[in-house]
Structure 1
Amino acid sequence: MSTLERGVTRQETAERVVVRFAGDSGDGMQLAGDRFTAATAALGNDLATLPDFPAEIRAPAGTIGGVSAFQIHFASRDILTPGDRPNVLVAMNPAALRANMGLMDRGATIILNEDAFTVRGIQKAGYTTNPLEDESLDAYVVRRVPMTTLTAAAVEALEGVGSRDAQKARNLFALGLISWLYDRPTEVTQQWIEGKFASKPEIAAANVAAFKAGWSFGETSELIDVQIHVPKATDVPPGVYRNVNGTTTTALGLVAASSASGLPLVFGAYPITPASELLHTLSRHAKLGVRTVQAEDEIAAASIALGASFGGRLGVTATSGPGMDLKSETIGLAVMLELPMVIVDVQRAGPSTGLPTKTEQSDLLMALHGRHGESPIPVVAASTPGQCFDAAYEAARIAVKYRTPVILLTDLFLANSSEPWLIPDAGALAPIDARQRTTPPGDDEVFHPYARDADLAREWAVPGTPGLAHRIGGLEKADLTGAISYEGPNHQRMTDLRAAKIAGIDVPDLEVHGEEDASLLVIGWGSSRGAIRAGARRARESGARVATAHFHHLNPLPANTAEVLRAYDRVLLPEMNCGQLASVLRAKFLVDVESYSRVEGRPLFAPEIETAILERI
């Protein structure tokens, strides 16, 4: 029986809600958020999430530097972003409260773990006075819940469960309380707990007890006097959905490309935040022919991928910005060898170590130009966690068809955020024909490793095939034969051929959405897509006439780019960098592309895009 039938104090219906869990990095906020997301997906809401990790591996407990958060936006209609301002903040300690107060609007609800607001805890968070006793929270609806005490009481009668186990289960109490508040199904979470801790039944029992205690507190306490129901989404396309993050879909896209092309996938990587999870994810697919290698460094990882491609496999490597710096020489070698290779760059804030747990779009110019010599390569960018599948598949397709390394740009926000993903029909995916040369030349034939097809792609000869031996290396290749050549005219010709091959890659036209008579066009690339669409939608609701377009191919650009840009009086380009794509488009098309840029280690938000649009109309 639904709790809506049980006579709670007050019931409300909301179209959409934003909830943010926050606490110490050891408080299990990511787990609580992930489990709340799973229950929300099971209920049929559309959703988007934003995990927010601290940069410090282990900051002192109770300090601002150690706060971890997880935000989820769920609704009864299609949504585009993980939300702007939380409706509810769950703060497990004073530092979590202080770190997140800047996100809260007046009137929002704050649910506090009252037990954590000790004198020492308040001081460690940087407060000079107790926020529960001064007037700093008067503008909010504050619910003070003794979560630590109630969790300990819930598990004290269980055998084999100590006080430390009770401390660790506080996040499940908070999850139970929020699950009751928004009428989430309990079975999904309880079954997960029992499966996760099947080998430790006493821990499973403690977590289930804490979860149920949180639910019961919400149901019976007069402190929480309202339950909010968000109906299931009804405007999403029918089909089979899976709740995924961008890392999962990137991995699945690469595996799908491997299957479609018949090329076993070899993935070489060196651990680096936030790309490491892709190595972990792909390592679970050995049964599908995937081979993963954790290399000694970034250079070795790129070399493993390129060597695998030379050996007739689909070579892939992944990293973040600092690793891209180190891989650049090997990528240049892949350009010279003209072999298929996919390089996944999960962007993070830089330069140098930068903000390793924060998102950014600042590697675009490096992807386009960051190599020695004239070495253009295709660049593909993913736009949503679900679209990472299509972007990864497309990057592999281009690499194989045109015999070239391809850079796939995602970012930390895409990699870690999740959304419902409509599982595609495998039969509808674009075919990938490897066209490898595995037969020796005939009696009257001479094998030319740099002979090209209509797409200017050279032959891909599998090593070990009799009669197909050829030279490899970083020195310039003679046209057709692939022999070493120091001739200036040959270098010019090979440089022109490699550039023409990339420029001739067939990519879809840029699609424009919005009013036909709009005077302002808002364009973007990468993970800004949701914020741009949502901001434009809000601006239209205010009466603005605006169009939007989004780039998924950044080199080569869509053939109709100039036509689209010149069709509008003004063009606005929001980016999480200092205007990198805006600079490229201005230089290439001589169009005054107006840049709206932010490098604050966070995604762009819909309200700021809306404001930027309305300021220009």
Structure 2
Amino acid sequence: TGTYRNISGNLALAYGLIAAGRQADLPLYLGSYPITPASDILHELSRHKNFGVRTFQAEDEIAGIGAALGAAFGGSLAVTTTSGPGVALKSETIGLAVSLELPLLIIDIQRGGPSTGLPTKTEQADLLQAMYGRNGEAPVPIVAPRTPADCFDAALDAARIALTYRTPVFLLSDGYLANGSEPWRIPELDQLPDLRVQFAAGPNHELADGTEVFWPYKRDPQTLARPWAVPGTPGLEHRIGGIEKQDGTGNISYDPANHDFMVRTRQAKIDGIQIPDVEVDDPAQAKTLVLGWGSTYGPITAAVRRLRTAGRPIAQAHLRHLNPFPRNLGEVLKRYDKVVVPEMNLGQLATLIRAKYLVDAHSYNQVNGMPFKAEQLATALEEAIDA
């Protein structure tokens, strides 16, 4: 029950970003360069200045994310929207955001690649780019919506992670979700998460001589997030930049042990992000699991329904969080004799699953610029069950 409206993925994503800004009680800043199929989000957000939204159409992709990261430093909920080619250009600044440890949402509405590729066709082949496409050890959390309406909740979830853990976060949608639409139940305001954060307001460390000082890289013991100090706050002046920081003080450091510690700490911060366990739909104790992510949810679900109607048992699980993976994923995968991973790429999630969990995951791939069809997937999954 509730009030429903029809909504596209990009519109739901824009509304989710606005809601995140309101729930965090922060101004929302979008630094973006128009690119198919992400431009709708820039168009929509530019209409909502009354909700504290500021949009900047930059001269190029690099300027867009640079402005957004600057807005994050200034205390805004900062967002940049793009597609795969733009992520390639933004990768240096994403690495800078990892080093600065500031919240930043990178919205990648994936399309066919490589290079200019197929601007108006769908694909989900940017997963490994989002996971690893930066120099050095630069871990970034990844969130992927499953349906057009789910883009709203995914935007809120990505904002929660970015704000709580002071990190850039990838949201991987694609052209199929962006332009697809479905009924969306308008949420009640009291059901939305509280995303408010506390800015640093004063000194947070006492030196041996009793002097109280501000250490910009003194971490929260639970989240490992550093304090967020807005420029202009008296006594909280601090240095930022891409050169390695000394733990705690944030001063430039070339110390080998410190670099080792900071690299491992940044990774531990991402590994420790709190996300829900993956849920498995397995009413008949099947021996084959179909594992998906992103926009394959619709056709996988339809294919699974067809197989079960025909009396073929099959289990289904779908990932929203791709970095870090859900805590229980390894245990879930080991329950099944066969794991099939349908993807609109050449097997990127399957590669990650095989590497991390040593599971013989089987890929079923399609890269023709179109989404899977339920009948096609049902045939492939039935063959996997019988193999």
The one of 553, 558, 572 aligned to 2:326: 558
Measured against aligned partners, the alpha-carbon deviations of 1:539-582 in whole angstroms (never above 9, x if no partner) come to 11111001100000000000000011110111111000000000
Code of the aligned partner of 2:146: S
Q: Which has the larger radius of gyration?
A: 1
Equivalence for 1:265: 28
Residue of structure 2 equivalent to 1:198 = none
- The answer to whether the aligner puts 1:479 opposite 2:247 as a matched pair is yes
- Give CA deviations for 1:35-84 in whole Å, capped at 9, x if unaligned: xxxxxxxxxxxxxxxxxxxxxxxxxxxxxxxxxxxxxxxxxxxxxxxxxx
Q: Deviations over 1:326-346 (max 9, x none)?
A: 000000000000000000000
Aligned to 1:582: 350
- Answer yes or no: is the 8 Å Cα contact 2:202–2:214 preserved in 1: no
Whether the 8 Å CA contact 2:203–2:215 is kept in 1: the answer is: no
The one of 74, 99, 124 aligned to 1:311:
74
Is the 8 Å Cα contact of residues 32 and 82 (structure 2) preserved in structure 1?
A: yes
Q: Read off the aligned partner of 2:58 and give its amino acid letter.
A: A
Q: Residues 289 and 314 of structure 2 are in contact (CA less than 8 Å); yes or no, is this contact kept in structure 1?
A: yes
Of 241, 256, 265, which aligns to 1:497? 265
Select the residue among 356, 363, 368 that pairs with 2:119.
356
Specify the code of the residue in structure 1 equivalent to 2:213.
V
CA contact (8 A) 2:218 2:226 kept: yes
Distance 2:344 2:156 in 1: 25
Q: Distance in 2 between matches of 1:440 and 1:312?
A: 18
Name the residue aligned to 1:407.
170
CA deviation string 1:115-154 (max 9, x = no partner): xxxxxxxxxxxxxxxxxxxxxxxxxxxxxxxxxxxxxxxx
Q: Secondary structure at the match of 1:274?
A: coil
Q: Is the Cα–Cα contact under 8 Å of residues 203 and 212 in structure 2 kept in the other structure?
A: no
Q: Confirm or deny: 8 A CA contact 1:275 1:346 kept in the other structure.
A: yes
Give the secondary-structure state (helix, strand or coil) at the position aligned to 1:466.
coil
1:323 Cα shift? Answer: 0.3
The secondary structure found in structure 2 opposite 1:460 is coil
Report if aligned partners of 1:340, 1:403 keep a CA contact under 8 Å in 2. Answer: yes
CA separation in 2, counterparts of 1:456 and 1:474?
19
- CA distance in structure 1 between the partners assigned to 2:338 and 2:214 by the alignment: 54
Distance 2:16 2:71 in 1: 19
- Normalising by structure 1, we get a TM-score of 0.61
State the alpha-carbon separation in 1 of the partners of residues 103 and 375 from structure 2. Answer: 41
Q: Report the secondary structure of 1:437's partner residue.
A: coil
Provide the secondary structure at the position in 2 that maps to 1:292: strand
* Matching residue within 407, 419, 423 for 2:182: 419
Partner of 1:447: 214
1:509 maps onto 2:277 in alignment:
yes
User: What SS is found at the alignment partner of 1:328?
Assistant: helix
Q: What is the 5 A alignment of 1:199-218?
A: none
Residue 300 (structure 1) aligned with residue 68 (structure 2): no
Per the TM alignment, residue 263 of structure 1 is displaced from its structure 2 partner at its CA by: 0.9
Tell me the alpha carbon deviations over residues 515-541 of structure 1, each in whole angstroms, 9 at most, x when there is no partner. 241011111000000100000000111
Distance in 1 of aligned mates of 2:299 and 2:65: 33
1:608 Cα shift?
Answer: 1.1
Give the whole-Å Cα distance in 1 for the aligned partners of 2:227 and 2:379. Answer: 52
Match of 1:249 in 2: 12
Match in the other structure for 2:154: 391
- For residue 435 of structure 1, the aligned residue among 186, 192, 198 is 198
> What's the CA shift string for 1:367-390, capped at 9, x where partnerless?
000001000010000110000001
CA–CA separation in structure 2 for the residues paired with 1:516 and 1:471 = 58
How far did 1:430 drift? 2.1
Which of 308, 312, 316 matches 1:548? Answer: 316
In the alignment of these two chains, the number of paired residues is 380
Unaligned runs of 5+ in 1: 1-237
Alpha-carbon distance in structure 2 between the residues aligned to 1:277 and 1:408: 16
Structure 2 partner of 1:48:
none
Deviation at 1:440, TM superposition (A): 5.5
CA shift, 1:439, in A, is 3.7
Matched residue, 1:45: none
Shift, 1:432, TM fit:
1.1
Deviation of 1:492 (Å)? 0.4
* Contact map agreement 2:245 2:252 (CA 8 A) in 1: yes
Q: Out of 599, 604, 607, which is 2:372 matched to?
A: 604
Aligned 8 A contact 1:401 1:433 in 2: no
Structure 2 match to 1:108: none
Residue 461 (structure 1) aligned to one of 229, 249, 259: 229
Sequence identity (%): 59
Q: What corresponds to 1:522 in structure 2?
A: 290
The amino acid of 1:375's aligned partner reads: A
Tell me: CA distance 1:517–1:440, structure 2 relative to 1, closer, same or farther (3 Å). closer
Match of 1:330 in 2: 93
8 Å contact from structure 1 (residues 440, 465) kept in 2: no
Counterpart amino acid of residue 223 in structure 2: D
Structure 1 residue identity aligned to 2:71: A
Q: Describe the SS at the equivalent of 1:284.
A: coil
Match of 2:141 in 1: 378
Tell me, yes or no, if the aligned pair for 1:440 and 1:466 is still in contact at 8 Å: no
Cα distance in 2 for partners of 1:256, 1:317 equals 16
Once the two structures are TM-superposed, the CA of residue 489 in structure 1 deviates from its matched residue by 0.7
> What is the distance in 2 between the residues matched to 1:434 and 1:300?
27
Q: Which residue of 2 aligns with 1:96?
A: none
The offset of 1:514, in angstroms, is 2.6
Q: Is the 8 A contact 2:203 2:213 kept in 1?
A: no
Distance 1:326 1:410 in 2: 18
Contact 1:264 1:314 (8 Å CA) reproduced: yes
SS at match of 2:48: helix
RMSD: 1.1
In 1, Cα distance between the equivalents of 2:275 and 2:203?
Answer: 34
Shift of 1:444: 4.5
Q: Which structure 2 segments of 5+ residues have no match?
A: none
Give yes or no for contact 1:263–1:434 (8 Å, CA) kept in 2.
Answer: no
SS in 2 for 1:392: helix
Distance 1:362 1:546 in 2: 26
Separation (CA, whole Å) in 1 of partners of 2:352 and 2:65: 27
Alignment of 1:2-41 (within 5 A): none
